[in-house]
Amino acid sequence: MRRKLVAGNWKLNGSLAANKGLLQAVRDGVKGQADVAVCVPYPYLAQARAALEGSSVTWGAQDVSEHAQGAWTGEVSGSMLADFACRYVLVGHSERRSFFGDTDTVVAAKFAAAQVAGLTPVLCVGETLAEREAGITGEVVTRQIEAVLANSGVDAFASAVVAYEPVWAIGTGRTASPEQAQEVHALIRARFERDSQQVASGLRLLYGGSVKANNAAELFGQPDIDGGLIGGASLVAEDFLAICAAA
Ligand code: PEP
């Protein structure tokens, strides 16, 4: 039985003042059997650590450099994130892929860099609306996963998470139906089963894309959906906690 995971993605939001109440409310409000994490902007990692250390809630970042150190102005390495006791790091979020040029190859390198630093990468994959309408959702998601498998191998996924996030559902209020999401999750798990039954059965597959308190339970009730990656709703404690409770 896979333990559910709910991870918040704060994106480019927050302030020291606003985060204080949110982190405290999440710390105090999380109960139950699911793992919960928040992926905060880099400058707030120390604040998240101070607020959450000693609780069941873990924290992480939204991106990581593929490089370990050196002349890469603006980058943040995996070991720097490990210095702040991060557990998770997102790699290949669709906003990184589409606005910052993260190719499949770069995402694969970031995935590996995260693992070298002892972090758990959350590999984000998903198709655009045009790709879904063209009937190539499976191809796109498989291609994104193959790049990482080719670089890191299937066993690397024993300590990783995959998040299926249809681009058309992120921040749009348009959620994939539980059936649509389950179909892609099953396809992803089947891909891993080809290489390792054991890795496939233990791999946590999150769904992300306009998950809200009122649709979380149905999504999380699907056999291959092991939790969620939550954007907008992770910024409102009451909403995020309701989603965690649904998991
Ligand atoms: C995300 O940022 O990964 C996300 C799923 O956002 P939202 O929940 O707002 O759609």
User: What's the CATH number where 173 sits?
Assistant: 3.20.20.70
Tokens of 11: 């994106």
Q: Which atom of ligand 1 is nearest to the CA of 230?
A: 8
Distance of CA 108 to the CA centre of its chain: 15
pTM: 0.98
Computed on alpha carbons and rounded to an integer, the radius of gyration of the chain in Å comes to: 17
CB hemisphere CA count around 148 (13 angstroms): 30
Q: Read off the pLDDT band of 21 (50, 70, 90).
A: very high
* Coil/strand/helix, residue 229: strand
In the block, residue with structure tokens 């984000």: 124
Count how many domains the chain has. Answer: 1
pLDDT tens for 46-64 read 999 999 999 999 999 999 9
Question: What digits encode the pLDDT tens for the residues 93-107?
Answer: 999 999 999 999 999
Residue 86 — pLDDT band, cuts 50, 70, 90? very high
Q: Give the residue, by CA position, lying nearest to ligand 1 atom 4.
A: 231
What residues contact residue 72 under an 8 Å CB cut-off, 6+ apart? 65
Indicate if ligand 1 lies below 6 Å from the C-beta of 94: no
Measured between alpha carbons, how far is 181 from 13 in angstroms, rounded to an integer? 27
| Catalytic annotation, pick one of 66, 95, 127, 165 | 165
Distance CA 228, CA 208 (A): 5
Domain around 216: 5-246
Which is the closest atom of ligand 1 to the Cα of 173? 10
Question: What's the pLDDT score for residue 1?
Answer: 79
CB-count exposure of residue 32 (10 Å: 0-12, 13-18, 19+) = exposed
The answer to whether residue 185 is catalytic is no
Strand 35-39 relative to strand 57-61, pairing: parallel
Contact residues for 116 (Cβ-Cβ < 8 A; gap 6+): 68, 78
Torsion of CA 78, 46, 236, 239, to 10 degrees: 60
